[in-house]
Chain A
Amino acid sequence: MTAAVTGGPPLADPTVPGRAGVSVRAVARWPESEGDGRPPGIPGFVPSPFGPLAAAAAERCLRRHRDPDGTPARTAIVVVSVHGDLATSEAVAAAVDAGSRVQPMLFFQSVPNSIAGHIAARSRLTGPISCISPVGAPVEDGLAAAALLFADLDADEALVLVVEQGHPGGAADHALAILVGPPVANGHDPASPAPTTQEVPRHG
């Protein structure tokens, strides 16, 4: 069975490239089809879609992978975003420029760590949280950050979330979630090109 990727806006990096140091366990996006529409809302995360997009892709990705032996893993979260939560930044800037009061709710979602904290609490992911603005290809940078955590033994697996909004070309806001673990001796060779989203096995 494969993860169905039937549509949705193009990602800047439409495949999951191969990279030494990780093995791909599951991949998901939001949206994956026209039927996805807006991601489910999260209490407190308004008015920006940044957090809901990340959470929806993350939840879908985690659902596609079930640890076969049920061993609790220290799952890290790596949030990759060029500009962070632009809609929240715009709302704050508009209030400041107008001399009006900033909505207190915006404080809680003002950094990319916030949605990572929401996902971690909801799915009990106790690994490190890291947020980066990609220097190279976003997916590559995210996987490289995850590989470092594995090499350092600070995480057993990592959920890499690539979230972008407000593209100059008008592409819709979107999120990509990739659950990765350390390199495995059997199965996919992490040194070789990793599967595209169409090829990633779905578990559970």
Chain B
Amino acid sequence: MNQAPGIASADQVVISGFDVTCGAGRDPQALLEAVLAGRPAFTPVTRFDVSGRRARAAATLPGSPVLFTEIADVIEAACADAQLTGPQRADCPLMLAVRVDYQLARMSAAERADWSGAGLARALAQRCGLSGALRTYTGACVAGSTAVADAACMVAAGRLPRVVVAAGYLVDPDHFALFDAGRALSDDGALRPFSAGRRGILFGDAIVAVVLESGTAARRRGVPAAARLAGWGRAGDAYHVCRPDPTGDGIARAIGSALRRAGIGPDELGYVNANGTGTAHADAAESNGLSRALGACSARIPVSSTKSVHGHALEASGLLELVVTVLALGCARLPVNAGFLGPDDECRLDLVLDAPRPAASPYMLSVNAAFGGANTALVIGAP
């Protein structure tokens, strides 16, 4: 076993409760069924006008969901899942990953003064009986996973017995238009990670919350853990404003950090929930990063990107995909990489296609990457 670095070796970090609602399922079980079936949730967007856009599809929740209410409900459910009492909640802070409200741009200066991501986090903490807002992450597609890593660091060090980490993104007209203008959205109605003929991302709504807790505290409470957060790592590409380093070096360093902290080698990994956005450059770079980090094992570790089913939830994607990976660990079956048309020589991975596979190892990896070359890796293990 490798020596786990940093202060994280002080105590185990477990996931003692979670909940999720997204376009692919209103609850964890529905989401699990969708990702195991490889059943994409993309439908024509009706929430706002997309008639002038190249892309037309997203995986959205029905009706007109309100972000605050949706996040509050999911936090409530996650706390209930973790069997937190009122006093335990009152001693537990919130870390939140959200995108700056797209309506902020339409507010007056006075209205803006009253809005902030931190203000949203404080209001959510108050509504849910938590101790307060600890931090708000706005770092695009690694916001949720960065929040998890930072929360895990604090729990492992014994600074806090537990933290609620929540994230939310609802598909909105401004970012749809923005990504469409950048030709980042798929115009064929599918998100096809690592596939020949992939044409880009599609958005998906997602609201997620997890309770991260010290293993000692969870055992004292007699609460079973859904999974152990065994390792986490973060690294930067130092390459470009928005394009990933084609060598995948930053992703590889994030994975290496997470594996070292987990004290395992690549040969012990049984699954990778990849970032897999379905974009040409990013999927090729990630494939190189996985090869670089996992060595010869990369050819035989099953990989899928469940964005192909639930879509890209931007700031919430890291937390959503962590929960998908926890669900896969719980049922010992691996989600399908949907939308696959055929192999791409630049993405030589052992993709889970057509049907879920049985999990062969209790260690799984979730990888995320974002603009600016930000990369994160989270390793989960059986509790």
Given A89-B105, A93-B102: A117 in contact with B242 (beta carbons within 8 A)? yes
Q: State whether A82 and B116 are in contact (beta carbons under 8 Å apart), knowing that A89-B100, A92-B174, A151-B7 are contacts in the complex.
A: yes
- CB pair B109 A168 closer than 8 Å: yes
A125 touches B241 (CB 8 A): no
B179 and A107 within 8 A (CB)? yes
How far does the alpha carbon of A124 sit from the alpha carbon of B234 in the complex, in Å?
A: 16
Docked complex Cα distance between A107 and B174 (Å):
11
Check B181 against A107 for contact (C-beta < 8 Å).
Answer: yes
Q: How far is the CA of A93 from the CA of B153 in the complex (A)?
A: 37
Does B370 reach chain A (CB closer than 8 Å)?
A: yes
Q: Which residue of A lies closest to B260 (CB)?
A: A153
Residues of B within 8 A of A89 (CB): 100, 102, 104-105, 174
- Enumerate chain A residues within 8 angstroms of B192, measured Cβ to Cβ: none
Known contacts A99-B52, A102-B178, A168-B112; is A151 also within 8 Å of B239 by CB?
no
B235 and A127 contacting across the interface, CB-CB below 8 Å: yes
Binds B, one of A9-17, A130-138, A191-199: A130-138
Which segment, of B60-68, B74-82, B137-145, faces chain A?
A: B137-145
Q: Contact between A135 and B182 (Cβ–Cβ < 8 Å)?
A: no
Once the chains bind, are B121 and A86 in contact (CB under 8 Å)? Answer: no
B182 touching A132, Cβ below 8 Å: no
Residues on the A chain within 8 Å of B235, using CB:
74, 126-128, 154
Q: Does B154 contact A (CB under 8 A)?
A: yes
Given contacts A93-B174, A124-B238, contact A166 B105 (CB under 8 A): no
B118 touches A134 (CB 8 A): yes
Contact of A117 with B174 in the complex, beta carbons under 8 Å: no
Against B, the Cβ 8 Å flags (1 = close, 0 = not) of A100-131 are 01111011111111111110110111111111
Q: Are B242 and A108 in contact (CB-based, < 8 A)?
A: yes
Q: Is A172 an interface residue (CB 8 A)?
A: no
Interface residues of B in 277-323 (CB under 8 A from A): none
The count of residues in chain B whose C-beta lies closer than 8 Å to any C-beta of chain A is 69
Given A84-B100, A135-B134, A166-B112, also A92-B178 (CB < 8 A):
yes
Kindly report which residue of chain B lies nearest to residue A76, judged by CB atoms: B236
Q: Please, what's the 1-or-0 string for B100-135, where 1 marks a CB less than 8 Å from any CB in chain A?
A: 101011100110110111100110000000000111
Expressed in whole angstroms, the minimum distance between the Cβ of A44 and any Cβ of chain B is 7
Q: Does A145 touch B at the CB level, under 8 Å?
A: yes
Contacts of B5 in A (CB 8 A): 152-153
Kindly supply a per-residue 1/0 record for chain A positions 144-178, scoring 1 wherever the CB is within 8 Å of any chain B CB and 0 otherwise: 11001101111000000000001010000000000
Q: Which residues of B contact A141 (CB under 8 A)?
A: 135
Identify which of A81, A109, A132, A166 contacts B241 (C-beta below 8 A): A109
The answer for the CA separation of A123 and B376 in the assembled complex, in Å, is 21
Residues of B within 8 A of A27 (CB): none
Q: How far, in Å, is A69 (CB) from chain B's closest CB?
A: 20
The contact of B150 among A99, A113, A145, by CB within 8 Å, is A145
Which residue in A97, A125, A132, A144 is a CB contact (below 8 Å) of B139?
Answer: A132
CB distance from A124 to the nearest CB of B (A): 5
Find out whether the CB atom of B7 lies under 8 angstroms from the CB atom of A152: yes
Decide if B146 is an interface residue (CB 8 Å cutoff): yes
- Asked if B374 and A151 make an inter-chain contact with CB atoms under 8 angstroms apart, the answer reads no
On whether the beta carbons of B149 and A129 are closer than 8 Å, the reply is no
27 pairs from A and B in contact (CB 8 Å cutoff)? A74-B235, A93-B106, A107-B179, A107-B242, A108-B182, A110-B371, A111-B139, A111-B140, A112-B140, A113-B371, A116-B374, A117-B239, A117-B242, A126-B235, A126-B236, A128-B235, A128-B374, A128-B375, A128-B376, A130-B150, A130-B374, A134-B116, A141-B135, A144-B135, A149-B234, A151-B7, A168-B112
